[in-house]
Amino acid sequence: MPEPSDGEGAEPASAAGSPSATDSVIGALADPTRRRLLDLLAQEGEATATALAARLPVSRQAIVKHLAVLEAAGLVSAARVGREVRYAVRPAALDATARWMAALAADWDRRLADVKRLAEDG
Structure confidence by residue, pLDDT tens digits, 9-26: 334 444 445 547 888 999
Is pLDDT above 70 for 53?
yes
Residue closest to 67 by CA, chosen among 54, 53, 81, 55 = 53
Read off the pTM: 0.72
Reduced to 3 DSSP states, what percent helix, strand and coil does the chain have, rounded to the nearest 5? 60, 10, 30
CB 40 within 8 A of CB 30: no
CB 29 within 8 A of CB 35: yes
Residue closest to 15 by CA, chosen among 110, 106, 114 = 106
**What is the CATH T-level fold of the domain 21-121, as seen in this structure?**
Arc Repressor Mutant, subunit A (1.10.10)
pLDDT per residue over 57-112, tens digit each?
A: 999 999 999 999 999 999 999 999 999 999 999 988 888 888 888 988 998 989 98
- DSSP state letters, 69-104: HHHHTTSEEEEEETTEEEEEE-HHHHHHHHHHHHHH
